[in-house]
Amino acid sequence: MCEYSSRQLSVFDHPREECGIFAVYGVDDAAPEIYNGLFSLQHRGQEGAGIVVSDGEKIRSQKGSGLVSEVFTPDKLGRLKGHLGIGHARYSTTGANKTQNIQPLVVECSDGIWAVAHNGNLTNAGRLRRMYQDAGAIFQTSTDSEVLVHLISDPHYRLRPRRVERALGELKGAFSFLIMKKDCIMGARDRRGFKPLSIGRLGDAWFLSSETSSFGFNGAEHVRDVEPGELVVIDSSGLASHRFAERADSLSQCVFEMIYFARPDSRVFGRNVHSVRMEYGALLAREHPVEADIVIAVPDSGNSAALGYARESGIPLDFGFIRNHYIGRTFIMPKAQDRASGVDMKLAVLPEVVKDKRVVVVDDSIVRGTTARRRVAALRSSGAKEVHMRISCPPICHPCYYGIDLPDRGELIAAQKSIPEIAEYIGADSIGYLSMESLKVPFDDHGDYCDACFSGDYSVTMETDSGKDALEKNL
């Protein structure tokens, strides 16, 4: 999750992760299962985590700032007794320690306790929030997720059949939601399918997760994805499907899941992420060939595309960068100087690999260009003869309103400079981006992916409300 302002993050040079959500129903001890699920989704959010469980009568909650392994000690997990529950790995970029915003949100309504976890960004949250505030409602957080809680507890919906479906139907924008009561869990995706949410099963136990890779940690098998516009309800009767909105004729599945966000061993929107990234690398090699001695990846999200580039081009793949996995994500460090230092510590160059070589560097994206510039300089100082950057997505020229925390257009290097100017700025001998035409080549359903950050073609309008307080996006 992150605030709309991104001015404090001037050194950050990649899209920022989304949140990860995970749920389970029908196990003897839900908390360890949710812990495993969140641990496997840690790449989607590292600023905070929360777990809410129920034994059918009592609901118990634990959340805090930090990594999953830091928030949940064995003693804390041991106190979370229940056979069903939901969890959330939170992402925030401001460095502010806003514990009240860590999810799942737990609230008490007239008909009992509800818990909610969210990945996405509601484009009409400001208007709905103002409507409830004007009516006297009090909000405890600055996240847009709390709007759903007020809709669910609204007498207009609470006293009518299918209240959750009706409440979800009021929301616009991008979302995957987990919703929990003491005796059931629910999962929902917006009608355009921006965010992934998958269903897993192990015997009589059911799982819901942002990514299918997390099912392997629990031994579950991927059954299917939650459909756009669908609400699934899991209780003692099993899984039931409900429709709260008609599936859009053309979906807007986030293509950045394939480029960067998801783990390579996940199936997202029905496709293996590693295979798609490999194909992007091969397409990049066809579009932007160059005479070179080695191909290296910017680890880890550039690994698969670099392998595809190397295989297609015939240029050997080698390890030019070594990543220090014990350095935290640079963009969650609160001070700019700490983040700049973290970038230097995160990747080390192997001089023996790059010295006197013509090097092709494959990365997933460039946002501001600051980190790419550092890495090119590091390769030069280690003796690289030539450095050719290859990026496995088109130039990012527009902000995202649907759950990727990209900066304002004025801070996006591709919106301000031509491609030759970008190459000059980062110090590369050449730079090549994947074309818009190649972006959707791996997919049969070419029109079902959101490319707004590249094209500026927004499928859902961001509603404005000049009187609203700043809300956080649940990335």
CATH of the domain at 369: 3.40.50.2020
Q: What angle do CA 344, 346, 347 make, to 5 degrees?
A: 80
- In the prediction, which pLDDT does 17 show? 53
Residue 238 in 3-state DSSP? strand
Domain shared by 90 and 234, yes or no: yes
457 found inside a domain: no
Domain shared by 46 and 139, yes or no: yes
Domain shared by 311 and 242, yes or no: no
Burial class (CB in 10 A: 0-12, 13-18, 19+), 264: middle
Number of domains in the chain: 2
Domain shared by 124 and 48, yes or no: yes
Residuewise pLDDT in 10s, the chain (475 residues): 332 233 333 334 566 557 999 999 999 999 999 999 999 999 998 889 999 999 999 999 999 999 999 999 999 999 999 999 999 998 753 334 478 889 999 999 888 999 999 999 999 999 999 999 999 999 988 889 999 999 999 888 777 679 999 999 999 999 999 999 999 999 999 999 999 999 999 999 999 999 999 999 889 999 999 999 999 999 999 999 999 999 999 999 999 999 999 999 999 999 999 999 999 999 999 999 999 999 999 999 899 999 999 999 999 999 999 988 765 544 334 444 444 544 556 789 999 999 999 999 999 999 999 999 999 999 999 999 999 999 999 999 999 989 887 778 999 999 999 999 999 999 999 999 999 999 999 998 777 999 999 999 999 988 865 433 334 444 4
Pairing of strands 253-254, 430-433: unpaired
Nearest alpha-carbon partner for 144 in 167, 164, 126:
126
Helix (H) or strand (E) holding 147: helix 146-153
CB 339 within 8 A of CB 309: no
Residue 360 in 3-state DSSP? strand
267 found inside a domain: no
In the numeric block, which tokens belong to residue 92? 């925030």
In the numeric block, which tokens belong to residue 10? 């001037």
Domain shared by 248 and 293, yes or no: no
Query: CATH number of the domain that 194 lies in?
Result: 3.60.20.10
- In the prediction, which pLDDT does 96 show? 43
Radius of gyration of the chain (CA): 22
407 found inside a domain: yes
454 found inside a domain: no
- In the prediction, which pLDDT does 265 show? 96
Domain shared by 394 and 284, yes or no: yes
- In the prediction, which pLDDT does 37 show? 97
Q: Which residues contact 382 (CB under 8 A, 6 or more apart)?
A: 349, 350, 351, 354, 355
Predicted TM-score (pTM) of the model is 0.90
Domain shared by 29 and 132, yes or no: yes
96 found inside a domain: yes
Residue written as tokens 């509800």?
Answer: 114
Q: What are residue 242's DSSP bridge partners? A: 231
Q: What are residue 122's DSSP bridge partners? A: 173
Length of the chain (residues): 475
Domain shared by 213 and 362, yes or no: no
Domain shared by 86 and 218, yes or no: yes
Distance CA 34, CA 21 (A): 9
CB 232 within 8 A of CB 241: yes
Domain shared by 247 and 286, yes or no: no
* Residue 67 backbone phi and psi in degrees, to 5: -70, 160
Domain boundaries, position 293: 273-448
257 found inside a domain: no
135 found inside a domain: yes
CB 209 within 8 A of CB 173: no
- In the prediction, which pLDDT does 291 show? 98
Q: What are residue 116's DSSP bridge partners? A: 105, 179
Domain shared by 382 and 286, yes or no: yes
Active-site residues: which are they? 19
Q: What are residue 380's DSSP bridge partners? A: none
Distance CA 82, CA 10 (A): 44
CB 385 within 8 A of CB 353: no
Distance CA 243, CA 229 (A): 6
Q: What are residue 470's DSSP bridge partners? A: none
460 found inside a domain: no
Domain shared by 374 and 234, yes or no: no
Burial class (CB in 10 A: 0-12, 13-18, 19+), 301: buried
- In the prediction, which pLDDT does 15 show? 60
- In the prediction, which pLDDT does 344 show? 59
